[in-house]
Amino acid sequence: MQSTYLLIGGNLGNIEQNMQTAISLINKHCGVVINKSSLYKTAAWGLTDQPDFLNQVLVLETNLSAQNLMQQLLFIEEQMGRVRTLKMGPRIIDIDILLFDDLVLNTELLTVPHKALPERKFALMPLAEVAGNIIHPVEKKSIQQLLLNCKDNLDVHKISPST
């Protein structure tokens, strides 16, 4: 079993329900979610003229390879109605692989660790909550250290404890 850290989120529809549906589908098709961060509310990053996002980090144990996991996650997004029309635009659900054990991978389908992780507070904050001492395999710093050094000034608020 490999441990992977996923970031799920969205800003359309019933966001919390969409996230619960995604977690159920991830448990069904990808492995076992063994831990979850709190929910975090975040202003949109990149394309800012859109509703705020809710985000959460999941700790997943899986037997899938990183590439097969990514294919399953894209399938789940599609099943849930995600349509990719505008880069960084509003979405019903978004599921990213942040870390996959200590794997370093760069393919057309997938880059692990997520290439923007060190610059994104909305991903680092929930990840630090569940895995603050994990060492980023490229940066060679803990997630907590990356968060402390992060220059991102985006407004990110914990809105609920993990359930």
- Tokens at 86, concatenated: 């505008």
Instruction: List Cβ neighbours of 11 (8 Å cut-off, separation of 6 or more).
Output: 44, 50, 51, 52, 53, 54, 90, 91
> For residues 89 and 80, what is the distance between their CA atoms, to the nearest angstrom?
16
> For residues 75 and 146, what is the distance between their CA atoms, to the nearest angstrom?
31
Burial class, 116, CB count within 10 angstroms (exposed 0-12 / middle 13-18 / buried 19+): middle
E strand segments, 63-93: none
Question: Which residues are catalytic, by number?
Answer: 82, 91, 94, 96
**Cβ–Cβ contacts within 10 Å for residue 14, how many?**
11
